[in-house]
Amino acid sequence: MIKSDTLQVALAQMTPIWLNRDSTLQKMESWAEEAGAKGSQLIVFPEALVPGYPFWIELTDGARFNNQRQKELHAHYLDQAIQVEAGHLDGLCAIAAQHKMVIVLGSIERPSDRGGHSVYCSMIYIDENGQVANVHRKLMPTYEERLCWSPGDGHGLRTFPLGAFTVGGLNCWENWMPLARAALYAMGEDLHLAIWPGQMRNTEDITPFIAKEGRSFAISVCSFMRAEDIPADIPHAEVIKSSSPAIMANGGSCIAAPNGEWVVAPVVNEEKLIIATLDHARVREERQNFDPAGHYSRPDVTQLTVNRERQSTIRIKD
């Protein structure tokens, strides 16, 4: 079967209904419906979009030990986190199946397989049949995120075929981890998805760098959020808002071609559904002079070992 070289992709630079899982999911479903109706075969949502990035940590003295305010905010965050096994993503799965469209989303996951009371920053891949095909838990939370998120494991370091492309992705500063990128390249990745909470400063340099390093298309997707978007009904809303800059996440979603040139330059300071068409022929052209896991690799000299076992604190033998 001949696969089309072209792929229509949608980047959802969206503002969450912050720290409200159900309302944010409803908004995501609306955006996914729009992307599917316009013919997109892939839509990507930002890191931690549902129920939202933990901006409060650096704004409310989050490192203070045994602080009641931090406890209350964390408890609320756990209440609003998603559980795949509870069916929270069923609506998005149905939309993916309806439009034969892949949906990739950033989430705060509260999985029962780790006791159910810790959260992970997870990149979730819903395939075109509406099945949750992968949950990649961020390997290392960044800086203040470690006060909130647990470190993940290698179970989700995987790639997936999508038309002529092979898709993989990482969360935020994971994209700076050379060995994580190398693992995806070795699995055939030629369309890299990088999801971020927002800020063009994170995406304007690394997106074309990954594209050139992997000779792949690289997509970065960010959220857009302002202080005025903080809901009044969340715990300690006024304290958080009083410490927040006017723009908490300015976006920066973009697409770079396999030679590092912009397909879509970073988009800032607005909510926007960005749609573009990618041509796999561009990948094959750039692989002529450099292929990081192919003709320009030396596995006899350097090799990478990846442990994809899902980690757990218990092994039960009945």
Q: Helix (H, G, I), strand (E, B), or coil: what is residue 205? A: coil
pTM for the model stands at 0.96
**Token pair for residue 118?**
């810790």
For the question of residue 38 being annotated catalytic, the response is: no
Average pLDDT, the chain: 97
Residue 202's pLDDT is what? 96
* Measured distance CA(290)–CA(4) in Å, rounded: 23
**Strand 165-171 with 160-162, pairing:** antiparallel
* Res. 191 pLDDT band, cuts 50 70 90: very high
Residue 5's pLDDT is what? 96
Among 17-21, 261-265, 311-315, the minimum mean pLDDT is found in 311-315
Q: Does the pLDDT at position 88 exceed 80? A: yes
Q: Of all helices (H) and strands (E), which one includes residue 168? A: strand 165-171
Residue 3's pLDDT is what? 73
**Given the residues 121, 148, 172, 222, the one annotated as active site:** 172
**Given the residues 121, 128, 138, 254, the one annotated as active site:** 138
Q: What is the pLDDT of residues 114-171, one digit of tens each?
A: 889 999 999 999 999 999 999 999 999 999 999 999 999 999 999 999 999 999 999 9
Name all domains of the chain by residue range, CATH numbers in brackets: 6-286 (3.60.110.10)
For the question of residue 138 being annotated catalytic, the response is: yes
* Measured distance CA(20)–CA(17) in Å, rounded: 6
Q: How far is CA 278 from the centre of its chain?
A: 19
**Given the residues 47, 174, 213, 286, the one annotated as active site:** 47
Q: Please, which residues bridge with residue 119 across strands?
A: 149
For the question of residue 212 being annotated catalytic, the response is: no
